[in-house]
Structure 1
């Protein structure tokens, strides 16, 4: 059963569209000034956290920065940028990147682990690891602090039949009025796999999915909701493949009215994974990860980022309870894919999408 919701404003003021776009902005050059006037290189009395900018940086700062400094005497410094830029920096430079903790999606965390640039998390240094859900544990090298979803968003009043399934994207009603992920989108491998499964294939047989994607008639492709939101406002887009977090963010601005749907086959699960960079400050990194997993902070992060909390002792805050799956609902509504398999699949798939699908759009 699909589960629609109309997100509402949370008690934490959300950033406007420009700040949200910074979630995937260009990373600051090593040693360049950051917001508080420090640099992105660690100096021993600070912890450098590689993370998306905008809402993530703002939320983590609000939730734990003061407490982290009070407990450790060090301050948080953020090295921001897109998922790919940041993982490439850590892989190419290792501890020389100045990064102590990387926050990224599961696939790119797996890529960094395979490259040998991550350090294992120590249970004795991060006691809260004992309380996290199974889905949050990424082997020995990562732990998620929350989960969110990619599903289908539609503009209220712009569709006669609201979507309930991934298959509905191919409906004649939505032809020429949908926004779909771009070829290099972080969750294109999962989206292409689902398209293949709907047509008799799967991750090991993507051809049916490639053919199906080529038959879509998108109004636009997108990497971030700001790519299609103006088209929704003008009536050119009525349905989009989008993250639950961005649907909430759009509604919070007061400029949009969209509903997010968990497709009946399951929305695509996405994790915000924390890992320690090998050669970084392990003691400060462990203290940071511990704070991110503590119950009070987990609740604040969930409310601001529309995440399902990773700590099983934490309930989804009431203010976002109708927009974020509870722990016991997550497996029913959100589907997680094998990150190592996705990482292996991506290069060839991107080429297929670029050569066989995009020209048809």
Structure 2
């Protein structure tokens, strides 16, 4: 064998050996799994993940969930060997479950100044918000034949069988809490909220737990009004459905957040979490599916800015109190209202 051929053979053999020994491991080391809502993933998070891979070489595999409770149940089922590295959920559920030290890890602060200043309430040691949103009223002017300007409009008799309203478990009981505030109650006294929902019941065509079901009902004209975040309007508008959005006082503001699951890929997962809150991904999220940026250096998309509530009209609720009460509230809701 010539020296040249022998050298070439040795080089190929060495490369093959390296590939066999390190290839699969390296590939696995450069992949993380993220669990999020399917609609959010399709509308903007996929683009964020693709940009993250281009910048870091870390591939993001998506696992979709129909809701936060569904996602958490899946995590619990794999508690001894989690296959999810980053879990998207609501701030309310995150506040309840991330104290589990076996499943969740602390998220170290981002030392990169490019992340910008996070808005108040968007970061804790166990979760980082990806975006924020209010609870709003989305309606079809061609079907309602009137402009909706406030929550009390929904109780008008001409909206009989016209509303799609989130159930108590969806959007962390915010519709119940808004109803309470409108009628002299509070998070510590939700009785007036239940009484108000009973009065509203003839106008409610559906209580929903799935955003896609509610959007479909509004698109098909089965309902003319949908209570939900402004992001619900964007896919309808993009499909040519006439929709208007108003975020009246009191406007509950909520976060969807990223949590860090304890796996062997935490270092890679932390990079993804930090990336999501930098300026370019935040701009993508805001423009792609009308969510509020949590990076204060990013301006909301024009469509979203037009319907975001004024700061004076925004309200927040103590998540610890929501978590303490939501189980009993849901049972009462099922027995007294949803049936």
Measure, in 2, the Cα distance between the counterparts of 1:234 and 1:130: 42
Q: Which residue of 2 aligns with 1:63?
A: 48
2:184, 2:192 within 8 Å by CA — same for their partners in 1? yes
Q: Which residue of 2 aligns with 1:222?
A: 208
Displacement of 1:51:
1.0
Measure, in 2, the Cα distance between the counterparts of 1:231 and 1:289: 34
Which of 280, 295, 300 does residue 284 from structure 2 map onto?
300
Measure, in 2, the Cα distance between the counterparts of 1:247 and 1:340: 30
Alignment of 1:1-361 (within 5 A): 43-57=28-42, 59-68=44-53, 70-71=55-56, 73-81=57-65, 82-94=67-79, 96-116=81-101, 117-123=103-109, 131-137=117-123, 139-187=124-172, 189-216=173-200, 217=202, 218-229=204-215, 231-232=217-218, 235-254=221-240, 256-266=241-251, 268-318=252-302, 320=303, 322-323=305-306, 325=308, 331-359=311-339
Measure, in 2, the Cα distance between the counterparts of 1:177 and 1:59: 30
Measure, in 2, the Cα distance between the counterparts of 1:115 and 1:220: 35
Displacement of 1:321:
5.1
Change (3 A) 1:128 1:51: farther
Displacement of 1:134:
1.2
Change (3 A) 1:275 1:227: closer
Secondary structure at the aligned position of 2:287 is classed as helix
Q: Which moved more, 1:106-115 or 1:153-162?
A: 153-162
2:131, 2:294 within 8 Å by CA — same for their partners in 1? yes
Measure, in 1, the Cα distance between the counterparts of 2:51 and 2:291: 22
Change (3 A) 1:166 1:94: same
Displacement of 1:250:
0.9
Change (3 A) 1:93 1:151: same
Structure with more helix by fraction: 2
Displacement of 1:183:
4.5
Measure, in 2, the Cα distance between the counterparts of 1:99 and 1:125: 25
Measure, in 1, the Cα distance between the counterparts of 2:214 and 2:106: 39
Displacement of 1:122:
1.0
**CA-to-partner distance for each residue in 1:151-203, whole Å, 9 max, x for gaps?**
1112113334422222222112212322222354233x221122122222222
**CA-to-partner distance for each residue in 1:47-67, whole Å, 9 max, x for gaps?**
111111234255222224243
Displacement of 1:245:
0.3
Measure, in 2, the Cα distance between the counterparts of 1:43 and 1:109: 28
Measure, in 1, the Cα distance between the counterparts of 2:294 and 2:310: 11
Q: What TM-score, normalized by structure 1, do the two folds share? A: 0.77
Alignment RMSD (CA, Å): 2.5
Q: Which moved more, 1:53-62 or 1:302-311?
A: 53-62
Displacement of 1:113:
1.4
Change (3 A) 1:335 1:126: farther
Secondary structure at the aligned position of 1:158 is classed as helix
Displacement of 1:92:
4.7
Larger Rg: 2
